[in-house]
Amino acid sequence: MAARLLGMLPTVIFLLAGQSNMGGRGGATKGPWDGVVPPECAPSPRILRLSPDLHWEEAHEPLHAGIDVHNVLGVGPGMAFAHTLLSSSSTSGVIGLVPCAQGGTPIANWSRGTDLYDRMVTRARAATAATGASLGALLWYQGEADTIRREDAEVYAGRMEAMVRDVRRDLHMPDLLVIQVGIATGQGKFVDLVREAQRKVRLPRLRYVDAKGLPIANDYTHLTTPAQVRLGKMLAKAYLSTL
């Protein structure tokens, strides 16, 4: 049911962006999604998502349906992140999630002026304008596509810093919190180079959460459903530590 019919609007909003592990492939690496929704990812009237047509609705898995297009979608970290926040005494009200991820995309596809960048900024503006709620953070999990070419891996840190600066400027939020996930896998052989570049990103109000060591599905690329739940909790812990 649409949130507008329920009379609810978010009090704090989070952007979810990056590629497939943010879009969510938990339970969806062997074909169609298995439909398993852990309790930590269950729907709640206090967790809303911004739909593809920019309306608030009750969030449910797969969270990126209609956003991460042309891909089989499953469980991602967003719902577990939101539930963890709601279980904390530091969070009250309603959480709004703004899915923006797109599978298989290198960071160059997220630079200012690209379709994905423009979509993310447009959705962020629509989310905040409709509610007056604060933008709590940008949750960013991306980099696997930049492990294919050494040239991309070596310039990753600079591209990430430029993207963050541009987003903050275009949203008029110079202190926007960004929580970056260190990749656990990659589509190429330069995973370690990208991970090193991610750790080299030096910007104020940027936190780093490492996905290395979380369970990986049998496609050797995507996090399992239990891993996505754990990642969501890790992201929530990182956010709460800034309050």
Active site residue ranges: 20, 219, 222
- Integer-rounded Cα radius of gyration of the chain: 16
Question: Which of helix, strand or coil describes residue 199?
Answer: helix
Q: What is the rounded CA–CA span in Å between residue 24 and residue 58? A: 18
29-to-21, 33, 47, 181 alpha-carbon distances in Å: 11, 8, 26, 21
Contact 44, 98 (CB under 8 A): no
Q: Report how far residue 3's alpha carbon sits from residue 96's, in angstroms, rounded to the nearest whole number.
A: 11
Strands (E), the chain: 12-18, 47-50, 56-58, 95-99, 134-141, 178-182, 206-210
Strand partners, 49: 57, 97
Q: How far apart are CA 234 and CA 64, in angstroms?
A: 20
